[in-house]
Amino acid sequence: MTVFTYSQARQNLATLLEISYKEGEVLIKRKDGSFFCVKPSKSRKSPLDVDSINSKITTKEIVSFIRESRER
């Protein structure tokens, strides 16, 4: 695990973030001996955000299929 001092972290923020992304986390150590952990965050993408597909089915056909399935 990589450890940066506070001063190093300030001067090399881009590098710190890149290492954090690759290794999973980076520690920052302050003069008083306390440590802070920098971790990459998971994407907050909606589970309902799915890629679309190209199909030759019209809206009328889709509605027709849904009505037909509800009648069963």
CATH of the domain at 15: 3.40.1620.10
70 belongs to a structural domain: no
31 belongs to a structural domain: yes
For 60-72, what is the mean pLDDT?
A: 92
Does this model's pTM top 0.85? My answer is: no
Q: Which domain holds residue 6?
A: 1-40
Domain count, the chain: 1
Q: How many Cα neighbours within 13 Å face the side chain of 65?
A: 6
CA distance readout (Å), 57 to 44, 53, 61: 32, 11, 6
21 belongs to a structural domain: yes
pLDDT value of position 68: 93
Give the model confidence (pLDDT) of 1-53 as tens digits: 899 999 999 999 999 999 999 999 999 999 999 999 999 988 788 888 888 88
Inter-residue contact 22 to 14 (CB < 8 Å): no
